[in-house]
Structure 1
């Protein structure tokens, strides 16, 4: 569970950052500056990262034992709103730690609890 949570958290931040760059930087440059260079670079990166986000989010929800509706669907849709993935990542992290305390990160030098 801990590894799935870490992977999801990392990709959620990447997806959120890419979507913010796409919506608030690349699209204005495309339509106001008539230059689609940033869009052609950032769009495929965000698309690929979002697909990874969907897979890792679904895997995390399955491991956590969440229902498909509304928890899993909400988790998966979080990457479609420019800052949504940041909020969903934090919500998922808190909820998993509350439901599965064994998923808490261990400190360096501390043995992992079994």
Structure 2
């Protein structure tokens, strides 16, 4: 039986990773090179909401799947590094 919160966390992990890449590699260059600050406002808001959901689902999944606290810290730190969340996908699958 799959743990639903871990599955949801896996999905938000991927979506949040894409939003972070969009913020860093699309919206920020639009702001600084094309003088379009609205791009960062919109993408930044979306990324912020997704990051809050990521943190909430990380806590729920950690609690329900009973994985070590160290794993949760690794997942959180990976979310702060561009492309980091994509390296944790295989590890999340082991907890489903």
**Could you state the TM-score of these two structures normalised by the residue count of structure 2?**
0.88
Q: Which structure features the higher share of helix residues?
A: 2
Structure number with higher relative contact order (C-alpha < 8 Å, ≥ 6 residues apart): 2
| Equivalent residue, structure 1, for 2:82 | 82
1:43-98 per-position Cα deviation (integer Å, ceiling 9, x unaligned):
01101100110111121112222232x2111112222112111212322213x1xx
Contact 1:78 1:84 in 2 (8 A): yes
The alignment yields a C-alpha RMSD, in angstroms, of: 1.4
Q: Which runs of 5+ in 1 are unaligned?
A: 97-102, 104-114
Secondary structure of 1:90's counterpart equals: helix
Counterpart position of 1:112 = none
Q: Which has the larger radius of gyration?
A: 1
- TM-score of the pair, normalised by structure 1: 0.75
Aligned equivalent of 1:107 = none
Q: Which residue of 2 aligns with 1:18?
A: 19
Q: Which runs of 5+ in 2 are unaligned?
A: none
Q: How far apart in 2 are the matches of 1:5 and 1:64?
A: 7
Count of residues paired in the alignment: 95
